[in-house]
């Protein structure tokens, strides 16, 4: 499993993994974390 990634969204912290963020490559976060942006 990859290291956890913590996102600060409007002051609320969310923890997820790179695999989760890149599982939807057409989304904004998917594009950002896959290097397409």
The residues that bridge with 6 in the sheet, in sequence order, are: 15
Rounded to an integer, what is the distance from CA 13 to the centroid of its chain?
12
Confidence of residue 3 (pLDDT cuts 50, 70, 90): confident
1 pLDDT more than 70: no
CB atoms near residue 21 (< 10 Å): 19
pLDDT in tens, 10-29: 999 999 999 998 999 899 98
């Amino acid at each position: 499993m990859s290291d956890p990634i913590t996102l600060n969204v409007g002051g609320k912290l969310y923890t997820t993994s790179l695999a989760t963020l890149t599982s939807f490559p057409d989304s904004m976060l998917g594009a950002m974390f896959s290097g397409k942006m």
